[in-house]
């Protein structure tokens, strides 16, 4: 049985209920985070809480809890759910007013929800042979740096991948690569790692940071800059990264091979660094 937290109460997830007038339900008016947990330790919790604050500030919603309280509640959820490795999901919505009105209600209590799911890492064959991706225009709004629960565009874009037998959809806006439907995307050209810069067009991924830190620590040449669509398509390697997918090689884009059509040497190196980092630092709570 999964245990969740809802508005001050710990309860079985299956029994968690929110009112139909909640603005999260009516408008997707909320913020969320997904925090990977290794050996029962939340990975980079302060960084996730910092990104949560950035989202809440961006949508003008006061943080209902301080970091110490978030840390305590997340620890409680981890302790009460099965599995050494978990994926903690938290969401805050602007709450339920009696009326449906686009503008914010004057006084309303936010809804706070936390749950945990098993952390399922990708199947080994995705790492060994790579995954297929499809591309699409990035039709989302211009605040993709905010992790809001208004995810319909991302859902449609990810569904496009599923419908075409792919794992992810790579998004291009105005001739440049932004990110994936639910991941960040890196390219490799001539041994140099290329990363789109953090700005309002992409989510500042925690895994993105880890990959850039590992690249710097191991002196892998790296350029954080805009990546043109043509460059991405002609790259030697493409990778997707997220808290739940870790780092995966993309070997096919729109039915065409990326590089040799097999996971590249730089990916294999990064994967090894990442796994080592996971065993030594993430499992140690770093």
Q: For ligand PDD, which residue of 206, 248, 252, 270 counts as binding (CB under 6 A)? A: 206
CA distance linking residue 100 with residue 112, whole number of Å: 20
- Which of the stretches 9-17, 162-170, 175-183, 213-221 binds ligand PDD when contact is defined by CB under 6 A? 175-183
Choosing from 203, 212, 214, 235, the residue that interacts with ligand PDD (CB under 6 A) is 203
Interface map 16-55 toward ligand PDD (x if CB under 6 A): ------------------x---------------------
Q: Let me know if 278 is a catalytic residue.
A: no
Whether 263 and 127 have beta carbons less than 8 Å apart is answered as yes
User: Residue from 3, 55, 91, 184 that binds ligand PDD (CB under 6 A)?
Assistant: 184
DSSP 174-207: TTEEEEESSSEEEEEETTEEEEPPPSTTS---HH
How many residues interact with ligand PDD (rule CB under 6 A)?
15
Which position among 95, 205, 249, 259 is part of the footprint of ligand PDD (CB under 6 A)?
205
8 Å CB contact between 62 and 93 = no
In the bound complex, what is the minimum distance in angstroms from residue 138's beta carbon to ligand PDD? 10
242 in contact with ligand PDD (CB under 6 A): yes
| Positions 4 through 23 that interact with ligand PDD (CB under 6 A) | none
Which of 160-168, 177-185, 215-223, 226-234 is the region at the interface with ligand PDD (rule: CB under 6 A)?
177-185
Q: How far is the CB of 136 from ligand PDD (least distance, A)?
A: 13
Contact 175, 87 (CB under 8 A): no
The catalytic residue among 99, 147, 189, 245 is 147
Give bridge partners of residue 136 from the DSSP assignment.
171
Q: How far is CA 38 from the centre of its chain?
A: 16
Q: Tokens in use for 182?
A: 């639910």
Eight-state DSSP code of residue 280: I
By CB under 6 A, what part of segment 208-227 binds ligand PDD? 208
Buried-exposed string 18-30: b where 16+ CB fall within 10 A, e elsewhere: eeeebbbbbeebb
Per CB under 6 A, 148 contacts ligand PDD: no
Q: Mask 85-114, x = binds ligand PDD (CB under 6 A)?
A: ------------------------------
> Residue 193: is it exposed, middle or buried by C-beta count within 10 angstroms (0-12/13-18/19+)?
buried
How many CB atoms within 10 Å of residue 54? 14
Residue 243 contacts ligand PDD per CB under 6 A: yes
Residue among 3, 111, 135, 207 that touches ligand PDD (CB under 6 A): 207
- Please check whether residue 237 is in contact with residue 259, taking contact to mean a CB–CB distance below 8 angstroms: yes
Reference 277, options 237, 217, 219; nearest CA is: 217
* Interface residue list for ligand PDD (CB under 6 A): 34, 154, 179, 182-184, 203, 205-208, 241-244
The residues that are catalytic are: 147
């Amino acid at each position: 049985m999964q245990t969740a937290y809802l508005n001050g109460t710990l309860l079985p997830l299956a029994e968690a209920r929110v009112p139909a007038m909640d603005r999260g339900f009516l408008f997707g008016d909320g913020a969320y985070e997904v925090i990977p947990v290794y050996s029962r330790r939340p990975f980079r919790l302060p960084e996730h809480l910092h990104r949560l604050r950035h989202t809440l500030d961006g949508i003008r919603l006061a943080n209902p809890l301080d970091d110490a309280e978030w840390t305590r509640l997340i620890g409680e959820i981890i302790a009460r759910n099965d599995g050494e490795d978990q994926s903690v999901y938290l969401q805050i919505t602007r709450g339920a007013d009696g009326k449906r009105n686009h503008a914010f209600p004057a006084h309303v209590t936010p809804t706070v929800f936390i749950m945990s799911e098993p952390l399922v890492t990708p199947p080994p064959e995705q790492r060994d042979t790579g995954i297929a991706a499809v591309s699409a225009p990035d039709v989302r709004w211009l605040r993709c740096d905010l992790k809001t629960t208004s995810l319909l565009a991302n859902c449609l874009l990810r569904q496009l991948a599923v419908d075409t037998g792919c794992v992810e959809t790579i998004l291009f806006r105005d001739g440049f690569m932004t990110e994936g439907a639910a991941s960040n995307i890196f390219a490799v050209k001539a041994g140099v790692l290329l990363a789109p810069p953090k700005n309002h067009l992409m989510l500042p991924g925690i895994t993105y940071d880890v990959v850039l830190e590992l690249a710097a620590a191991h002196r892998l040449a790296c350029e954080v800059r805009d990546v043109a669509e043509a460059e991405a398509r002609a790259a030697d390697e493409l990778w997707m990264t997220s808290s739940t997918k870790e780092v995966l090689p993309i070997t096919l884009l729109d039915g065409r091979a990326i590089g040799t059509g097999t996971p590249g040497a730089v990916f294999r190196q990064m994967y090894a660094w990442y796994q080592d980092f996971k065993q030594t630092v993430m499992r140690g709570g770093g």
